[in-house]
Amino acid sequence: MKNHIVAAFRLTFVMLAIVGIYLLIVYAGSKILPTKGNAEIITQNGQKFYANIGQEFKSEKYFQGRPSAVDYNAAGSAGSNKGPSNEEYLQIVQKRIDTLKMIHPGMGNTKVPVELVTASGSGLDPDISEEGALYQVKKIAAVRNLSEEKVRNLVKNQTEKPFLGLLGPSKINVLKLNIALDQLK
C-alpha cells in the first residue's frame, strides 16, 4: 500500500512539473506576439472595441462579418452544434444565402463565400476571407458613393497574409476594415 501511495505522489509531482513547464512555455510564447497575449483593444470615437472578437455591424454602410450562433455575446461563446446534414441548419444557411443575394443584387449568381452564411465554432470569429469582403464591395461602394476600385483597394490593403507565408489562410479583420472604411475620404 505504501509503495502505491509513494508512486502516486511521484507521478503527481512529475505531471505537475511537466504541465507547469508547458504552461510557462505557452505563456512566454504569448509574450512575443504583437498583443503580448492580451486582447487587442481599439478605441474609436471614445468607444472601446475588441478586435479579436466578432462584432455585429447593423448598418448597410459597413462590411458584415460571420454570423454568430451566440448573437456576438462573448460571455456565451459556442457554436450551434448543428451539422451539415441537419435540416434546420440547412434551412438557416439557405435563408442567409437568399438574404445576402437580396442585399447584394449586383452579384448575380456569384457564389456566396461560405463564411458569410455559416457561424464559426465559437460564434465570435472576427475575420472573414478576402473573397467574403470582395463579395460586399459593390454594395458598400454604392452606399458610400465611393468607387468600387477604391473600396477593393482598401480590402486588399487590409488583408492579412498567412503567418510565415504558409500557416493559415489570408484573412481580414472586419472591425479594422470598417474603421479604415470610415477613414476613407
Closest CA to 37 of 49, 48, 26: 26
Same domain, 69 and 143: yes
Does a structural domain hold residue 44? no
Does a structural domain hold residue 43? no
Same domain, 16 and 94: no
What per-residue confidence (pLDDT) applies to 49? 82
What per-residue confidence (pLDDT) applies to 123? 67
Same domain, 134 and 169: yes
Same domain, 72 and 113: yes
Same domain, 143 and 57: yes
Which domain covers residue 23, as residue numbers? 1-38
Q: Say what the alpha-carbon torsion angle 23, 27, 29, 31 is, to the nearest 10 degrees.
A: 180
In the three-class reduction of DSSP (H, G, I as helix; E, B as strand; rest coil), residue 49 is classed as strand
When divided into structural domains, the chain yields a total of: 2
Long-range contacts at 76-80 (CB < 8 A, ≥ 24 apart): 76/123, 77/122, 77/123, 77/124, 78/122, 78/123, 79/119, 79/120, 79/121, 79/122, 79/123, 80/119, 80/123
Q: What is the pLDDT along the chain (185 residues), one digit of tens a residue?
A: 778 898 999 999 999 999 999 999 998 888 887 777 777 788 888 888 888 888 888 888 999 988 887 777 777 777 677 778 889 888 988 999 988 888 887 777 888 888 888 887 776 788 999 999 999 999 999 999 999 999 999 999 999 888 777 778 889 999 999 999 998 86
Same domain, 28 and 55: no
Same domain, 26 and 89: no
Same domain, 163 and 107: yes
